[in-house]
Structure formats: structure tokens, C-alpha cells
Amino acid sequence: MSTMSAPYFPPPATDVQPQGQPPRNGLGTAGFVLGLVGLLLSFIPFIGVVAWPLVIVGLVLSIIGIARASSGKATNRGLAITGAVLSVIGLVICILYVAVFTKAVNDVNQQQNAVSTITYEVTGDAKGATVTYSSFDGNGSSMNQETASQLPWHKDLQAKGLFSGGSLTVSAGADGGSVTCKVTVNGKEAKTATASGPFATASCGGF
């Protein structure tokens, strides 16, 4: 009676394991560096314009670095997260600067197109007075002088653009008496002064 032997199966070939790949930390590190530099530049007026592309690219690279660290391809997850945070902060600062700059430009444009109404008034019991006042045109202000044979005296003017102020001065004659000057800008009293006596002068300047 013959003995049957069990079939022979050769052992499976042993796969040669490839040597471990180095961690792919480059993008996460680059994102951190760009985020940090962009954040520092974002605080500097005008130069901070350069921060825009830096923080945006830094944020993208940091996110890729975080994804690589999460999949085990990189080991600098903390650095990549820090880069993303720095990039977001820098981006917020850049946005705030743009908002502030835009508002400032709009305010200047509104002021340049604005029209201010200036009202000059001179009252008192002086028999006559000499009135010196600022008038306004597109090129700035100029001084004018009028003789008021009797009071009250009144004049309305308009100033367009950035109104920087003016002056109103009234002087009594040799006969004396009291004189009062008053300046109103856009319906609000801006300056008033009173003087009395011969050649007395009341000045409403710097309004």
C-alpha cells in the first residue's frame, strides 16, 4: 500500500519593503513663512499692498500642508496650522486697510463736492462801520471790504470744496458806538465778537 505525500507549496516570495519616504514638509513650511512675512508687512501703510499675495498664497500652502500632515505625508502639522492662522490674520488686516482707505477716499470726494453756505452779519448802534470779509471761489479765498453806512449789514456766500475757514472784521467809525460780528456756517453759529468805542474793532476769524 503506497503512501501519498501532501502537496508541496513553496513559501510566498517576501516583498522587499521600500525605504521610508522623507516627510513632505516643504509646502507647510513655505505657508508658514509667507503667512508670517505677509502679516508683518500688512501693518505697514502702502507697503502692505505686497502682503495681499503673500497671505493668500501662504494660506493655500498652509492648507495643503495641513492636508499632507493629516494623511501622514508630512510631520509639521503644527507649523502648517500656525501658517494658516497667520495668513488669515494678515488677510483680515489687509481687508480692513482697504475698507479704511476706501472710506477716506470717499470722504475726500464728498468734501470736494460739498457746498458750504457762509452768512456774515454785522449789528450794533454805530452810525457807520467798515466791514472786511473773506469771499470764496474755486481757487481759494480773497479779502473784500465794504463801508456799511448803517447797521445791520448782512451777506450770504457759498464755498465749494474743502472749506478751510475765513474771517469777518468790523470797525466802528470815529463817532464810536458798538459793533457785533457774527458768522454762521451751514446754519450753525461759528463765531461772534463785540466791540464798542471810537474805531473799535470786532473780529470773527478762524471759523
Domain residue ranges of the chain, discontinuous segments joined by +: 26-112, 115-202
Asked which of 33-42, 46-55, 65-74, 83-92 is least confident by mean pLDDT, the reply is 46-55
For residue range 6-21, list pLDDT tens digits in order. Answer: 566 555 544 343 456 7
In whole angstroms, what is the distance from residue 122 CA to residue 130 CA? 10
Burial 161-184 (b: 16+ CB within 10 A, else e): eebeebbbbbbbbeeebbbbbbbb
Cα 159 to its chain centre, rounded Å, is: 26
Identify the pLDDT of residue 18. 45
- CATH top-level class for 115-202? mainly beta
Mean model confidence pLDDT for the chain: 85
H-helix or E-strand spanning residue 52: helix 51-70
For residue range 77-93, list pLDDT tens digits in order. Answer: 999 999 999 999 999 99
Instruction: Write the CA distances from 6 to 3, 9, 11, 71, integer angstroms.
Output: 10, 9, 15, 46
Cβ atoms of 182 and 189 within 8 Å: the answer is yes
Split at pLDDT 50, 70, 90, the class of 203 is very high
- C-alpha cell read off for 203: 473780529
For residue range 139-194, list pLDDT tens digits in order. Answer: 667 889 999 888 999 999 888 766 667 889 999 988 889 999 999 998 899 899 99
What is the C-alpha R_g of the chain? Answer: 40
